[in-house]
Amino acid sequence: MEFLLIISTVAMRLQVEEEEPFNPDYVEVERVLDVAVTNDPVTDEEVTHYLVCWRCLAYEDSTWELEQDVDVAKIKAFNHFRHLPPLHERQVSYPMYHYSNDI
């Protein structure tokens, strides 16, 4: 009898898990982490993949996606922050407060 109670409890849990709605954030790109350009062995065409971090998911759940499947704005943001600007374009920021030893 106890065995049947355990089975019915597990079945009820599975039913509840199946009824939970799918979170749409799981298919929204949070940011692009890396890029890989390879050649397709069959057609010898260049193929670009982006390592995508998905919204509301951990970094360990990131996946490689084809370029056409990734939002262009996210790719532009990745490329913008990927490289440091040239030295002549960099701005120097100073601390808001200047501490001195005026005793």
Q: In what order do the strands lie in the sheet with 29-39?
A: 29-39, 46-54, 63-66
Q: What is the pLDDT of residues 10-39, one digit of tens each?
A: 455 555 555 667 777 778 999 999 999 999
The pTM (predicted TM-score) of the whole model is 0.63
> Residue for token digits 């002549």?
88
CATH architecture of 25-82: Beta Barrel (2.40)
Q: What is the pLDDT of residues 40-57, one digit of tens each?
A: 999 999 999 999 999 989
Chain centre distance of CA 49? 13
In the chain, the largest separation of any two C-alpha atoms, in whole Å, equals 84
**CA–CA gap between residue 47 and residue 66 (Å, rounded):** 8
